[in-house]
Structures are given as C-alpha cells and as structure tokens.
Amino acid sequence: MKFYLLQIIVCILLCTSCKEKPKDLAIHKYTIEADVEELNPQVKEVVKDWDGYWALKRNIAMIENTNALNAIEYMDKLASNCNAMILQIPDAVETPAIKSKVDKVDLRINAFYTEVNRNELRERVVQNHIETIVKAFDTLNKELNRTL
C-alpha cells in the first residue's frame, strides 16, 4: 500500500512540475520587433500620395506580425516598394536629410536582399537584417516628423 501511495505522489509531482513552462518562449524568441514612429498628422497629409512609402510601411507592418523566417517571403515586395519610394519622393520632402534617410532604407533592404538566401534557416540572420531595415525606416519617419 505504501508503494502504491508513493507512486501516486511521484506521478502527481511529475505532472505538476511540468505545468511551469516559459510563456511563449519559442514564439517570442523569433518575433520581430518593429517599433516605427508614427508620422504626425500634418506630415501624413504631405506624404499622402507617396505610394511607395505607404506600400513599404504596410510591408513592415506585415513583417511585424510574423517571425523572422516568414519575413523572407517579403524580400521582393520590400525591394520593389523601396524602389518605388525612391522614384516617387514628393518635391515637398525631397531634402538632403530625408533623401539620405531614404537611401539608408534602400541600402538596408538591398543588403537583406543580397545577403540572405531564400532558403535561409538561421532565424537570427534574418531577424538582424529585418531589425536594421525597421530601424532605418523608423529613422526616416523621425526625420520626416522633424523636417516637415
């Protein structure tokens, strides 16, 4: 009887000790942080017709809701929308400071496009590239808010 009771206690201890799991560790580990400063309302009005900018902003928002390896699927969209953003810079925002921030975003996207293989399996490599793109885009937004 003691042996049977001991088995039940050990089983209960094993079951209760397994309940303690880190919350969403696997999901959080490779989730991309995409904190991009929002544009001020008057700046939004100035850049409302800048289609390449808004398309790139939507791409970054989509990447924020996925993990690093899924972000590879956005490589072509990032590159084409960045090119559209460069070609369509509105005259009102085409200052040297903003142009340099746009070029920095382009540089980061080109590095991602050329350095990451579509079959990349190392999440951290992809995540590092995406985070630099997001930081460059955030810097562009900050410059737009500051300049306009």
Q: How confident is the model at residue 26 (pLDDT cuts 50, 70, 90)?
A: very low
Q: Please choose, from the candidates 32, 34, 40, 55, the residue with its C-alpha nearest in 3D space to the C-alpha of residue 142.
A: 40
The model's pTM: 0.74
Q: What average pLDDT score do residues 35-61 get?
A: 91
Q: How far apart are CA 64 and CA 74, in angstroms?
A: 11
pLDDT at position 52, please? 94
**Contact in structure between 82 and 105 (CB atoms under 8 Å):** yes
Strand partners, 31: 67
CA triple 23-29-33, angle to 5 deg = 110
Reading the block at residue 53, the tokens are: 């900018």
pLDDT, tens only, 54-72? 999 999 888 888 888 888 8
Reading the block at residue 78, the tokens are: 């990032």
Q: How far apart are CA 37 and CA 81, in angstroms?
A: 19
Q: How far apart are CA 138 and CA 36, in angstroms?
A: 5
